[in-house]
Amino acid sequence: MIFRNIACLMSLLAAIALGGCATSPEMRATPDDVKIIELTQAILALGPQVDPAEAARAARVAVQYPRQLAVAYNVTDSAIVHNMKVNAGLRPRGLCWHWAHDMEARLMQEDFDTLALHQSIANADATFRIEHSSVVISARGDGMFDGLILDPWRFGGALYWGSPRDDSAYKWRPRQEVWDYKRERRAGLNPAPL
């Protein structure tokens, strides 16, 4: 039954994406439609237990909601420049942890049964790199490294996703592990490097 549902979902999504010339302009797939289809497939690939409807909902929220946040945060520059504006009090929100928190809160509203969310931090121990936070989605029961980073901050509201292990820009760690590392460091202990 689940394979039949996946096949039906993929056929429907492909028809929407590839409809192009056969449909009216308002029915053609947008770049975000294509991203939603691709992310849905990536989420489904996390495991056979992932419900296709949940994967599609998660993908839709993960692609569309950051666009709304970019407007709410008044993002008009690169992520780094926007960070400077937030830190200078010129913008209300838009630091990476704002994106991560707001994205996770929105995804949690979907009340997934077959998907789980994880909080992650990168570069916590890097001297010349800024720390970066994001949310990870995985199949329920799997760990953070088995999931997909959902990073809306990196491109100012245009979602980046990929494996935490394969992200060449950031070395991701579970948030609690980073917090434990920082606590040990502040206490004068010599924690193992992240």
What mean pLDDT value characterizes the chain?
87
Q: What percent of the chain has pLDDT over 70?
A: 85
Instruction: Note the pLDDT of residue 6.
Output: 55
Lowest-confidence region among 11-15, 70-74, 152-156: 11-15
Q: What is the mean pLDDT of residues 27-52?
A: 93
Q: What angle do CA 157, 163, 169 make, to 5 degrees?
A: 65
Q: What is the pLDDT of residues 1-22, one digit of tens each?
A: 444 455 545 554 554 444 444 5
Distance CA 103, CA 95 (A): 12
Q: What is the mean pLDDT of residues 31-51?
A: 96
Task: Tell me whether residue 16 is exposed, middle or buried, using C-beta atoms within 10 angstroms of its C-beta: 0 to 12, 13 to 18, 19 or more.
Answer: middle
Q: What is the mean pLDDT of residues 106-133?
A: 90
Distance CA 1, CA 83 (A): 47
CB 136 within 8 A of CB 118: yes
Domain map of the chain by residue range? 2-186
Tokens found for residue 106 = 């929105």
Question: Has this prediction a pTM greater than 0.85?
Answer: no
